[in-house]
Amino acid sequence: MSGERDVLPELSIDLTPTLVVSTALATMDPTPVHHDPALARAQGSKDIFLNILTTMGLVERYVTDWAGPAAVIRRIDVRLGVPAYAGDRLSFTGKVVSRADGELTVEVRGAVSLGDHAVGAVTLTLPEGEDPC
């Protein structure tokens, strides 16, 4: 369970203001701290930052990029940490921590310059013979 094939390739995402704003729009979240830098700063934030729906979407994307289109996501558990600000970079790492009856659990860590933005686990099932490991 600790071979190199159980380790997911890293994924680094530049958190451009465009990404922060377009994901806020795509998740139907008009909260100003996700698109209005002046207002975000007035509330004590460094800049606009990712909303939680986007964090969940990016964790999902990170795992399915690796697992392939046949994967079926069953659970996404995320412990939220430091904010992911525009201008920072979100780097995902992950590894398979359990595999039983076609069900895989992948541990995921999404780090930014301030520390861990999201740490969690994604559980998915794969049709037989589709295990990416």
Which residues of this chain interact with other proteins, rule CB under 8 A?
Answer: 13, 19, 22-23, 25-30, 52-61, 64-65, 69-70, 72-80
Identify which of residues 8 and 13 has a Cβ nearer to other proteins in the complex: 13
Rounded to whole angstroms, the Cα distance separating 104 from 119 reads 17
**Is the Cβ of residue 61 or residue 87 nearer to other proteins in the bound state?**
61
* Closer residue to other proteins (CB): 4 or 101: 101
- CB of residue 118 to other proteins, shortest distance in Å: 9
> What's the closest the beta carbon of residue 97 comes to other proteins, in angstroms?
16
Could you tell me the smallest distance in angstroms from the CB atom of residue 3 to other proteins? 25
Q: Write down the H helix ranges in the chain.
A: 17-26, 37-42, 52-67
Q: What angle do CA 85, 9, 57 make, to 5 degrees?
A: 45
Adjacent-strand bridge partners of 91: 12, 111
Q: Which residue lies nearer to other proteins by CB, 39 or 78?
A: 78
Q: Tokens standing for 13?
A: 């995402």
Confirm if 48 and 80 have CB atoms less than 8 A apart: no
- Cβ atoms of residues 56 and 27 within 8 Å: no
- Least Cβ distance, residue 37 to other proteins (angstroms): 19
